[in-house]
A and B are shown apart, each in its own frame.
Chain A
Amino acid sequence: MKKLFVITLALIVMATSGFAMRGSSGHVNILYWQAPSILNPYLSGGTKEIEAASLIIEPLARYDESGNMVPWLAESIPTTENGGVSDDLKTITWKIRDGLVWSDGSSFTSADVVFTHEYCTHPEGGCAQGQKFEDVVSVEALDDLTVKVTFSIEKPFPYGPFVGAQSPIIQKAQFEDCLGTAAPGCTDQNFMPIGTGPYVVTEFRPNDVISLEANANYRDSAKPGFATVTFKGGGDATAAGRAVLETGEFDYAWNLQLAPQVLQQMSEAGKGQVISAFGTAVERIMVNMTDPSPERGEERSTRAHPHPFLSDINVRKALSLAIDRNILNEIGYGITGKPTCNVVPAPAIYASTANEGCLVQDMDMANQILDEAGWVKGSDGVREKDGMRLSILYQTSTNAVRQDFQALIKQWWSEIGVETELRNLDASVFFGGDPGSPDTFQKFFADVEMYTNIFDGTDPEPYFNLWKCGREPSPENGWQGGNIPRYCDEGYDANLSELSKTGDLNRRIELSKALNDQLMQEYIMIPLIHRGRVSAHSNSLGGVVLNPWDSELWNIADWYRQ
């Protein structure tokens, strides 16, 4: 009945005005093969939940498809030029659009923004987006439509809180009683948040399906184009691709990380098209600069003992030179990836061009470097020096593409006299971070390991911060920390601290490139593939703009039926 009512309403409005109307495109089916379990991104940091929630709740500003920041619920992006960011880089003041209302009809005010901060930073809430509010001292409402965020330190890039799909604004009136330990009990709130976005939830079935209808109070009376949305979850990437590209049952399928041939074959059915866009995801090999040998006991993989041979830059360089990134890309990613020599390959302004040499495999050079460094091939073809054999334990998570990569790289490394033992671990264990398990990527009880990492938004500073000296996982910090290679360099840290104080964009770019280049040229990590987001939409679905910097559904209000 509700659906019917909305459609009828839409028809009446259309008849009277005569141009594109809210809901005029009818119904759209979206398929996420990982099903959302909750619609509160503050209680689950999963991509599926964040993206599903982005239909309903929105941030003050977000990124567009090229990584530019666009005001969303705010009137404009505060900068130092327009006075929105203070000169000492410690405060940012947001102006909220006038006349915004929540889907329940009440007005959207700065109190909601203040509350959102309070909600996420409650000490007992277990907020999954806590890092967005890092260094925030206070969030104050200057008036009904003005919010001032104060940081404890200089924030040259103050666009963490309330920017992007990870930190949307929730309604104070709805969540007021859900602070801290009460948060999990608020099932209704978490399943049916009130938002400002184009849609409101009519039914939520955790890990299964969400039914939504157009928000009658949405700020643009002509949008969204679709009156109702079914957001289905479950299955696997292949089945999701099939449902859009081959059977045409669904209009949009998310995250189709499939073999290039499979995607090609599916799109030949002619029902839809594959789209991809590149964000900051890079599949890389991390090099352990410390000794992972079990003999080290408690000090295994800690900075107490440098790695017996990977601490030699010549070995690291040879390992990188022996890899043919083009072949890897062809086999594993096709159009959805491209070979890269940088750990920060995007946004374009931050991408360095100084390391392009790695794109060409050079076995001779690799062999020569090792020869010159005194690593001599033994009778079994494995190089040795001072009784130390170049024998590597190479671990990654269990995943078909990763195991293909492992096999190829093992072959290449054997050709330069490096012996490789392969190991793959279940993703939930490898990425699980359980301090009790020896198999986590943080513990890094191996010589090299391979995985993909990204950074949020468009500013790489927090990313470079990961590899700061002292941030390495160790028994002292419960094996937490982002400095997986256990890298430690004064020059790097100096550049980093300058970056954290620099507001000027050009200087920031310069410093970022330098940081990237240092990591690359010291071969602390060996980047392989710049991975894109891949999705598919049916031929009849218009208005889709794949955005690698924000929720893929960021512009669903503009979607329409062709």
Chain B
Amino acid sequence: MFNYTIRRTLLAIPTLFFISLVLFLLLDLAPGDPTAQLPLTIPPEVREKIRLALGLGEPFHIRFLLWLEQFFINEPLHLLTELTGVDFSGDRQRVISWQSRSPVMDIVVQRLPQTLWVVGMSYVIGTIIALPIGIISAYRQYSWFDQIGTFVSMVGFSIPTFFTGVLLIVIFSVHLGWFPSIYDTTHVVTDWSSLIVQIKQMIMPTMVLALYNAAQISRFMRASMLDNLNQDYVRTARAKGLRENVVLLVHVLRNSMIPVVTVIAIGVPTVFGGAIITEQVFKVNGLGQLLITAIQANDIPMVQTLTFIFAVLIVLFNLLADILYGILDPRIRYE
């Protein structure tokens, strides 16, 4: 297992390098211009100067190598400096956003809390809701509970979050006035009442996303349970005279969880990717909103860095899912 992990990790390096190259090429070839959003009153000569100041004058390979150096050498050194207080990074150039002219990683770190709070929480809540729904739906297949579960999942799957989000805002913010429609990222939880405020502003975006996550995971859970419920070993368990909840929760659930756990693990990077649409709708301004504004402004260093971080997370969590699979399923052994 250990060797397997090491080997997979090493294999990820060329994969990630290739991904970064492709990302860079794609971004470079894509039409668009960082000065596009500036008013037309700014004359072309000035625009050209801005572009040159951003480093766009350099040829492609130079910019790519520069980014590699900034991302893989300068940023980690800077992190080390931050952590230890000893100056490792010197005046090495970090990855700088074209929009804000500030280090990309600083902004990413700034955005992480709200993304983790809202999107991460919705993933956790979605999972917590989904598992029992999936279990009961499968155990009582075709019952009214299962039918309702199927319907709600369909709704969660097929209705886009920009619709459910706006619907919730219209109902709970405009008409009832219970929750704010705009997320306050500066809010700090210090005591009980500020915690209530935080919960209130999190409820709507979290629920919108949780519905979507729950829809997916509950379907998976249900299918996996159904697969296992008809297995012979379940009959064996019943023949042993075990109580039904032991049969269900110990025998069936444990085996059904194997694929579900890996699906959940593979889904974690999407949390870090943020939820572009939901973040926009509720003005959560997390990583998703950061990415979309960067794309709109053609802020290539920001887009490149963010997408690359997502790629790393995806590779990482896929690896993690594989390892989890091996741990959970004794039949699988990685050499």
Q: Tell me, yes or no, whether A and B come into direct contact in the complex with CB atoms closer than 8 A.
A: yes
A contacts, CB < 8 Å to B: 31, 35, 37-38, 40, 43-47, 123-131, 181, 183-187, 190-191, 203, 205-209, 211, 230, 232-236, 239, 242-243, 246-247, 249-250, 269, 426-429, 431-434, 436-437, 439, 442, 451, 453-456, 473, 477-478, 480-482
Q: Could you say which residues of chain B place their CB within 8 Å of the CB of A481?
A: 44
Of B59-67, B282-290, B313-321, the one with at least 4 CB within 8 A of chain A: B282-290
Q: Which of A207, A232, A242, A250 has the most CB of B within 10 A?
A: A207
Q: Which of B31, B49, B182 contacts A31 (CB 8 A)?
A: B182
Flag B26-37 by CB within 8 Å of A: 1 or 0 each: 000001110111
Question: Given known contacts A190-B101, A209-B185, is B169 in contact with A242 (CB within 8 Å)?
Answer: yes
A203 close to B186 (CB less than 8 A): yes
Shortest CB distance B223–A (Å):
37
Residues of B within 8 Å of A123, CB to CB, are: 49
Q: In the complex, what's the smallest C-beta–C-beta distance from A174 to chain B, in angstroms?
A: 15
Q: In the complex, are the beta carbons of A37 and B181 less than 8 A apart?
A: no
Q: What chain B residues lie within 8 Å of A426 (beta carbons)?
A: 31-32
| Complex CA distance for A480 and B185, rounded to whole angstroms | 41
Query: How many angstroms from the CA of A236 to the CA of B48 in the assembled complex?
Result: 29
Looking at the assembled complex, report how far the CB atom of B205 sits from the nearest CB atom of chain A, in whole angstroms: 12
Inter-subunit contact B100/A38 (CB<8 Å):
yes
Residues 92-106 of B, flagged 1 when their CB comes within 8 A of A and 0 if not, give: 010011011111001
Instruction: Name the one of A128, A236, A246 contacting B42, with C-beta atoms under 8 angstroms.
Output: A128
Asked if B86 is at the interface (CB within 8 A of a chain A CB), the reply is no
Are B174 and A209 in contact, with the CB atoms below 8 A?
no
In the complex, the answer to whether A242 meets B174 with C-beta atoms within 8 Å is: yes
Known contacts A37-B99, A207-B100, A246-B174: does B33 contact A432 (CB below 8 Å)?
Answer: yes
Question: Which chain B residue shows the least CB distance to A454?
Answer: B41
Given A247-B181, A429-B31, A432-B36, A209–B186 Cβ distance below 8 Å? yes
Closest residue of B by beta carbon distance from A133 = B46
A50 to chain B, nearest CB (A): 9
Collect the chain B residues with CB atoms within 8 Å of residue A434's CB: 31-33
- CB pair A207–B290 under 8 Å, yes or no, is yes
B102 touching A432, Cβ below 8 Å: no
Residues of B within 8 A of A234 (CB): 280, 283, 285, 289, 293
Q: For residues 26 through 80 of chain B, which have their beta carbon under 8 Å from a beta carbon of chain A? A: 31-33, 35-54
Contact A236 B280 (CB under 8 A): yes
Q: What 17 new A-B contacts, CB under 8 Å, besides A38-B100, A207-B289, A451-B40?
A: A129-B46, A183-B53, A183-B101, A185-B96, A186-B101, A205-B110, A232-B184, A233-B285, A234-B293, A235-B182, A239-B181, A242-B181, A243-B182, A246-B174, A429-B31, A429-B32, A439-B31
Are A206 and B100 in touch, CB under 8 angstroms? yes
Q: Which residues of B contact A206 (CB under 8 A)?
A: 97, 99-100, 102, 107, 110
Count the B residues whose beta carbon is within 8 Å of the partner chain — how many?
55
A431 touches B181 (CB 8 A): no
**B-chain residues with CB within 8 Å of residue A246 when the two chains form the complex:** 173-174
CA distance A481 to B50 in the complex (A): 16
Main secondary structure of the interface of A (DSSP, over half): loop
* A544 and B111 alpha carbons, distance in the complex (Å): 32
Contact A187 B102 (CB under 8 A): yes
Please give, as numbers and ranges, the residues of chain A lying within 8 Å of B280 by CB-CB distance. 234-236
User: B298 interface residue, CB < 8 Å from A?
Assistant: yes
The complex places the Cα of A234 from the Cα of B48 at a distance, in Å, of 28
* Complex Cα–Cα for A43 and B38 (A): 11
Count of A-B contacts with CB under 8 A? Answer: 196
Q: Is the interface of B mostly helix, strand, loop or mixed?
A: loop
Kindly state whether residue B132 has any CB partner on chain A within 8 Å.
Answer: no
**Residues of A with C-beta under 8 A to B45:** 130, 480
Q: B131 within 8 Å of A by Cβ?
A: no
Cβ–Cβ contact A247 & B173, under 8 A: yes
Answer whether A433 and B33 are a contact pair too, CB < 8 Å, given A128-B42, A249-B182: yes
B43 contacts A131, CB within 8 Å?
A: yes
CB contacts (< 8 Å) of A131 on chain B: these are: 41-43, 46
Chain B positions within 8 Å of A473 at CB level: 44
Query: A247 to B177, Cβ gap below 8 A?
Result: yes
B307 within 8 A of A: no
Q: Across the interface, do A433 and B180 meet the contact criterion of CB distance under 8 Å?
A: no
With A206-B97, A207-B100 known to touch, is A232 a contact of B41 (CB < 8 Å)?
no
Cβ of B296 within 8 Å of any chain A Cβ, yes or no, is: yes
- Are the CB atoms of A431 and B96 closer together than 8 Å? no
When distances are taken between beta carbons in the complex, the residues of chain B under 8 Å from A187 are 100-103, 106
Closest chain A CB from B107 CB (angstroms): 6
Residue pair B43, A239 in contact (C-beta under 8 Å): no
B210 interface hit (Cβ, 8 Å): no
Interface residues of B in 260-319 (CB under 8 A from A): 280-281, 283, 285, 289-290, 293, 296-298
Residues A184 and B101 in contact, CB atoms below 8 Å apart: yes
Distance in Å from the Cβ of B306 to the closest Cβ of chain A?
12
User: How far is B166's CA from A242's CA once the two chains are assembled, in angstroms?
Assistant: 11
* Min distance, Cβ B282 to any Cβ of chain A, angstroms: 8
In the bound complex, residues from chain B placing their C-beta under 8 Å from that of A35 are: 285, 293
CA distance A40 to B100 in the complex (A): 9
| Cβ-neighbour of A427 out of B36, B54, B182 (below 8 A) | B36
Which residues of chain A are near B169, meaning CB under 8 Å?
Answer: 239, 242
Q: Which of chain A's residues have a CB closer than 8 A to the CB of B50?
A: 45, 126-128
CA distance A436 to B296 in the complex (A): 18
Query: Do A232 and B182 have beta carbons less than 8 Å apart?
Result: yes
Q: Which residue of B lies closest to A124 (CB)?
A: B53
CB distance from B202 to the nearest CB of A (A): 15
Which residues does chain A contribute within 8 Å of B181, judged by CB atoms?
239, 242-243, 247, 249
Assembled-state Cα–Cα distance A432/B44 (Å): 11
Assembly CA distance A431 to B280 (angstroms): 24
Q: Check A250–B182 contact: CB distance below 8 A.
A: yes
Cβ–Cβ contact B42 & A45, under 8 A: yes
With A126-B50, A247-B174, A454-B39 known as contacts, the answer to whether A235 contacts B283 (CB < 8 A) is yes
User: Would you mind naming 18 contact pairs between A and B with Cβ atoms under 8 Å apart?
Assistant: A37-B99, A45-B35, A187-B103, A207-B100, A207-B107, A209-B185, A232-B184, A232-B283, A242-B181, A247-B174, A247-B177, A249-B181, A428-B31, A431-B37, A433-B35, A433-B36, A434-B33, A453-B41
CB distance from A39 to the nearest CB of B (A): 9
Shortest CB–CB separation between residue A11 and chain B, in angstroms? 23
Q: What residues of A have a CB within 8 angstroms of the CB of B32 in the complex?
A: 426, 428-429, 432, 434
Q: Are A128 and B38 in contact (CB under 8 A)?
A: yes
Residue of A nearest to B40 (CB): A453
Q: Which residues of B contact A453 (CB under 8 A)?
A: 40-41
A437 touching B107 by the CB < 8 A rule?
no
Q: Which of B167-185 contact A (CB under 8 A)?
A: 169, 173-174, 177, 180-182, 184-185
**How many Å from the CB of B47 to the closest CB on chain A?**
6
Min CB–CB distance A379 → chain B (angstroms): 40
A432 touches B298 (CB 8 A): yes
In the complex formed, the residue of A with least CB distance to B165 is: A239
Q: Which residue of A lies closest to B280 (CB)?
A: A235
Measured in the bound complex, the distance between the Cα atoms of B285 and A482 in whole Å is 36
Chain B residue numbers with a CB within 8 Å of A38 are 99-102
Instruction: Using known A-B contacts A205-B110, A247-B174, determine if residue A45 contacts B185 with beta carbons closer than 8 Å.
Output: no
